[in-house]
Structure 1
Amino acid sequence: MACDLLTLVDTFVRCPYNQNRRFQTDGFDKDTREAAGETSRVGREETERRGGDRAARQGEATEGVRALAKRDEDATERLLAAAREEFFEKGYEAASLCAIAERAGSSKGAIYVRYPDKAALYEAVVGPVIEELYARMERCFDDFGQMDPAMQRTEMNAYADRGIGWMVDFLYDHFAEFKILVCGGKEDLYQRFMHRMVELDSATTYRYIEAVGNDAVTSGRLTPEIMHMINTACFTGIFEVVAHDMGREEAHAYVERLCLFYRAGWNTIFYPDYDVSAGVPKPPSDPAAADELKRLVEARGGSP
């Protein structure tokens, strides 16, 4: 019986049909593995391709955003340049947003996308130079305050002269903006600007007085009201060079003379024994010179 069973098994194994089936199965497994490997390779390549396409699309999108930003920046600059011209020629009140858009080769809608109204556009024109002037003056005053008190006392006039000279040059480097601010702008913005400048100068003066131990404040010779009036008058006078369209060199000479005038006045506050009349020339003794002086006074309406 056992022999018969072994014979049956051997016969089954040796059967050509079964041997061929086994070979087919082995081949199938090999083909399956190869196909799976090929699928994996193709999948990896496809993933890499898609990743490359995605990176390329992202790069194109980034470049597109940059291009749009550049075009938007250019359009904004054209609008600001057009607004500067319009405000300079016509002043704030008479300036027209439609005219500004036409100057810029744009539309009124393009203005409203960037600025809610004419006031905001006006501030965008003059605001940057105002802030730069204020910031640089603030740094200048802070640098002065870092000096030791003895140096502050001896260097105050020379330091102030250099600062004022720089300020005049800055006004003329940005003449259009300051002309718009002083003569053709919104009165409230000009007043806010002047108030900030006066407050900055006043704070610096108080620090100087404290540093050098001057008694101008404690004695009552200098009050907040007097300080405000003096500094307001001085800054208003400086900006007159813009209002009257003086040339740069003429403006320097004018402001230098103005500062000498105010410096003499400050000396009466800082130094109670300061002799105002010291150095004042006597009236001319020559009759011809006296007549000429009288003629000049009368020609100016009684003002020397």
Structure 2
Amino acid sequence: MRPTNEKLASDILEAGKQEFLSKGFKGANLRNIASSLGVTTGAIYRYYTDKEEIFSTLVEEPAHTLTEKYRTLQKEFSARPLEEQLSGLPEISESGHDWMMEHIYNHYEAFKLIICCSTGTQYEHYMETLAEIETNSGILLMERMEAAGMKFRHIDEDMVHMLSSALFSGIFETVRHDMPREKAFAYMDGIREFYSAGWFQILGIS
């Protein structure tokens, strides 16, 4: 059973966070974390098995919440009638992305770690997970349009994935460049307008 010095466990997380933000996961060193706290690495091992467990503890809850919420939003969108999906796309997108930005900025340092410092961890391809959710939703929408006999320009899965990846790359640029919250939300409005209009354009529908 691990000891229950909650303050030391919390201090290790804070010191680990600063080490990761400064050097990235790969460059981070448990000895540096221990030294900054005036303890031995053995003291750290009483609470965390390795530096990846420290990293995961810092990011796993907000990361999981975002992916699951986004997956739920896309499922709810797909459950709507097709006509409602198409007519309400800009407003539905606005609601979902507003929640996403609020969540990211409410857990800013966790997402800073994921986006800028996670190489070598299970979160290294986190944006890819979100892009896959978006890609699957886009493909399902086109399948429903085709089943309904709608005329539109067909695009393949690779293109959908490319557009989805570009969307999330743009969203997380706000974190990568340390944008203030207000500026990030304004930036998100522009991204959303661009992609909503772009989808209608590339599919050849209005």
Q: By the TM > 0.5 criterion, same fold? A: yes
The yes-or-no answer on 1:167 pairing with 2:100 is: yes
Cα distance 1:184–1:192, how it changes in 2: closer, same or farther (>3 A)?
Answer: closer
**What amino acid maps onto 2:129 in structure 1?**
R
Cα distance 1:172–1:254, how it changes in 2: closer, same or farther (>3 A)?
Answer: same
The yes-or-no answer on 1:183 pairing with 2:116 is: yes
The equivalent residue for 2:186 is 253
Cα distance 1:264–1:99, how it changes in 2: closer, same or farther (>3 A)?
Answer: same
Equivalent residues of 1:209, 1:216 under 8 A apart: no
> Following superposition of structure 1 onto structure 2, how do residues 118-197 of structure 1 map, counting pairs within 5 Å?
118-186=51-119, 189-197=122-130
Task: Give the distance between the partners of 1:170 and 1:159, measured in 2 at CA.
Answer: 17
The equivalent residue for 1:198 is 131
What RMSD, in angstroms, separates the aligned Cα atoms of the two structures? 2.8
The yes-or-no answer on 1:81 pairing with 2:23 is: no
Shift of 1:124: 2.4
Count of aligned pairs between the two proteins? 206
Shift of 1:96: 2.4
Task: Give the distance between the partners of 1:72 and 1:142, measured in 2 at CA.
Answer: 42
Higher RCO (C-alpha under 8 Å, 6+ residues apart): 2
Give identity over the alignment, percent.
28
Shift of 1:197: 0.6
Deviations 1:184-230 (A, max 9, x none): 23266454211111111111122223334478999763101101111
Shift of 1:163: 0.7
Deviations 1:152-179 (A, max 9, x none): 2222210111111111111111111111
Q: Which moved more, 1:95-104 or 1:220-229?
A: 95-104
**What amino acid maps onto 1:239 in structure 2?**
F
Cα distance 1:113–1:265, how it changes in 2: closer, same or farther (>3 A)?
Answer: same
The equivalent residue for 1:25 is none
Partner SS state of residue 186, structure 1: coil
Query: Structure 1 unaligned runs (5+)?
Result: 1-64, 275-304
The equivalent residue for 1:17 is none
Shift of 1:132: 1.2
> Which residue, 226, 229, 244 being the options, matches 2:177?
244
Shift of 1:122: 1.8
Cα distance 1:144–1:104, how it changes in 2: closer, same or farther (>3 A)?
Answer: farther
The equivalent residue for 1:208 is 141
**What amino acid maps onto 2:165 in structure 1?**
T
Query: Structure 2 unaligned runs (5+)?
Result: none
Equivalent residues of 1:214, 1:270 under 8 A apart: no
Tell me which structure has the larger Cα radius of gyration.
Answer: 1
> Which residue, 112, 135, 146 being the options, matches 2:45?
112
